[in-house]
Structure 1
Amino acid sequence: MEYKINDRELTASVFLPFVNRIWKGDYDMERTQEALTKTLNITAYDQNELVGCLRILTDGYFFGTITELLVLPEYQKQGIGSRLLALAREHTPSMLFFGAQPGVEAFYEKNGCQKSLQSYIIEKRSE
């Protein structure tokens, strides 16, 4: 497994097929590419196939958040998510806050994450 910190070679054309294997959606290629340039991308590759990705959005000092931690289903429970999380801890410029999908709390707690603030969302209104 090859791990890359701040993977600037990650493109939407590689990321979107990977994401669609986990979270199916109709994602825009151009907007995805722009989003990838705004995050610190920590990736895991098996040969040349993207199999895991953790993205950090941060101001570099006060605040950081994990936007997502994704591992292909067939690669889960092999330590890839734990390694991505450890690399995030080593390379983040700030404290990280993030939400977790229901049912995966034990994974984060096993990896030394502490339960903190309750999370809320504000949905963008359609115009």
Structure 2
Amino acid sequence: MTSAQTIADTLGRRLAWWGGGSVVGGLALAVSSSERVRAFGLQSAGWGAIDLAIAGIGATRSKPVTSPSLRRTLWINTALDVGYVAGGAHLMYHRPSFGGRLTRDRSWGHGAAVVVQGAALLLLDAMHARQLESH
């Protein structure tokens, strides 16, 4: 197994753990009576489900991962993660209602969850991309 493959497998396991924790924790929070907490939970559970799907797809790949391809993908994802954090912060600060579909508290809760999820993905993606730089 190549070192890129080992890094990809480790990333996949970590993403699965994060995704699973986000789903379980998010669903637990989604039953809260607080609109903020409920929105945070629902948003977290949604991101967690997507993380689990991505980890599952990665675990079933048949082609070995190459270092240049994985490195490029992770650095692109890192840039996107910065955008997620910024977008979540925008929701928290400005609290848009999206035409009356969200209350200010829900907007804040969704934004806070996007910040947390984006920051976690930023950490995972950048950490694993840096590991590939040394291989």
Question: What TM-score do the two structures reach when normalised by structure 2?
Answer: 0.27
Question: What TM-score do the two structures reach when normalised by structure 1?
Answer: 0.28
- Structure ranking higher on relative contact order (CA contacts 8 Å, 6+ apart): 2
Greater helix share, structure number: 2
Greater strand share, structure number: 1
Bigger Rg, which one: 2
